[in-house]
Amino acid sequence: MGIDAYRWQMTQPGATFERVSFRADPAVGEVVVAIAGCGVCHTDLGYYYDGVRTNSALPLALGHEISGRVVATGSGAEDWLGKAVIVPAVLPCGECDLCKRGLQPICRAQKMPGNDIQGGFASHIVVPARGLCEVEERRLAGIGLNLAQVSIVADALTTPYQAVRRAGVAPGDLAIVIGVGGVGGYCVQVARAFGARVVAIDVDDEKLAAIAAHGASLTLNARNHDGKAIKAAVSNFAKQSGLRNTEWQIFECSGSAAGQLSAFGLLVHGATLSVVGFTMDRVEVRLSNLMAFDARAMGNWGCPPEYYPAALGLVLDGKVQLAPFVEERPLDDINQVFPAVHHRQIKRRVVLTPT
C-alpha cells in the first residue's frame, strides 16, 4: 500500500526544477518518511550549478538533510511507525566487510539521498530503516525547535561532528575553522563543545560576527590578511591564551580553493588538517610539508549513523545552537530559493518545508 506523494526533480543542471507525483511504497526493511524539512546544502548547489555528477541518473530529486515522521513501513520495520526521525545523509549497508570493520563512510553499497536515490526535496521519501535517528519532539519543543529545523543535523552538523571526533579534538586544543557559513559554523560550535578554543576565518564579516557569539574566540577576515599574517595572528592568539603552538586542529569547511590553500598554509608541527568542504577546483600544494611538520591530513565523507544521537544530543543539551542559523522556506519555492542561496542573498541555512 503506497502513499500519494510528490517531489521536485532536477532534470538537468541549471534547468527549472519540475514537480512530479509518485507513489511512496516501502519494500522489506524500508520506511516512508513524511518530510518535515530538507536543508539546502552546498553539495546540492554543486550538482545543480557546477556540473558535479550524481551517482543516479537524472531526473532526480536532490536533498540529503532530511527530517520527518515515519508514516508507512515495509516488513521488518514496523517499530518505526509514527516516530519522528532524522534520515542520515549517507546510509551505509551495514552488512559488508567495510561496515563490519567500522568503515561505514566508505561502504561501497551506501545510499545517499539526492545522489544515489531520490532525495528530500519532496513530500515523502522511501529509505532503509537501518540507521534512522529518532527525535524526541518533546525535548525539541523544550528548547524552541521544531522537527523541520533539525533536518540540518543530517549533514551540516553531523559531518563536522564526525570530523572533530575523528581528529581527536580535546580540551586545551586550538581549533581553526576556515569558512564559517553552514557546515563551518557548526564545526566551530562542535569544536568548542569538545573543549577547544576556536579561531574562525572567513571572508564575510557578518558570518564572523554571528559565529563570534557562538563559540569563536578569535575571528579573522581573510580578505584583510595574507597567509603569513593569518598564521602570525593565530600564533599570537595561541601564545596569549596559553595554548600550544604545535598540534593545531585545522578544519577546511569553505569548499573553496582559496580556503584549502589557507588551511594548508596553517600547518604546524603535529597539526591535523581535516578537509570537510568540497570544491571542483584544483589547488597546488607542497605535500612534503606534511612530512616536514609530521602532520596529517584527512578527508571527511559524512558521518556514520551510530554517531547521530550524540550529535543531536549537543543540540538538545544547548551546546550547539541551530535556530539562529536556519531559515525555513516553502518547498514549492525551490526555483526561487536555489538562485537566492547560490548568489548568497540568503545568509542562513535554508530548510525547505512541504506544504
What are the pLDDT tens digits along the chain (355 aa)? 689 999 999 999 999 999 999 999 999 999 999 999 999 999 999 999 998 999 999 999 999 999 999 999 999 999 999 999 999 999 999 999 999 999 999 999 999 999 999 999 999 999 999 999 999 999 999 999 999 999 999 999 999 999 999 999 999 999 999 999 889 999 999 999 999 999 999 999 999 999 999 999 999 999 999 999 999 999 999 999 999 999 999 999 999 999 999 999 999 999 999 999 988 899 999 999 999 999 999 999 999 999 999 999 999 999 999 999 999 999 999 999 999 999 989 989 999 999 8
| Domain final residue, candidates 282, 299, 316 | 299
| Domain final residue, candidates 299, 324, 339 | 299
Q: Are 146 and 224 in a shared domain?
A: no
| Residue of 320, 63, 352, 321 lying closest to 194 (CA atoms) | 320
Report the CATH number that the domain containing residue 45 is assigned in CATH: 3.90.180.10
Q: Are 28 and 129 in a shared domain?
A: yes
Q: Are 257 and 214 in a shared domain?
A: yes
Q: Could you check whether the bond before residue 59 is cis, i.e. omega within 30 degrees of 0?
A: yes
Q: Are 89 and 166 in a shared domain?
A: no
| Domain final residue, candidates 258, 284, 299 | 299
Report the CATH number that the domain containing residue 263 is assigned in CATH: 3.40.50.720
Q: Are 149 and 17 in a shared domain?
A: yes
Q: Are 162 and 151 in a shared domain?
A: no
Q: Are 287 and 196 in a shared domain?
A: yes
What is the domain count for the chain?
Answer: 2
Q: Are 71 and 151 in a shared domain?
A: yes
Q: Are 193 and 206 in a shared domain?
A: yes
Q: Are 8 and 111 in a shared domain?
A: yes
Q: Are 349 and 247 in a shared domain?
A: no
Domain of residue 30, residue span: 3-155+303-353
Q: Are 114 and 202 in a shared domain?
A: no
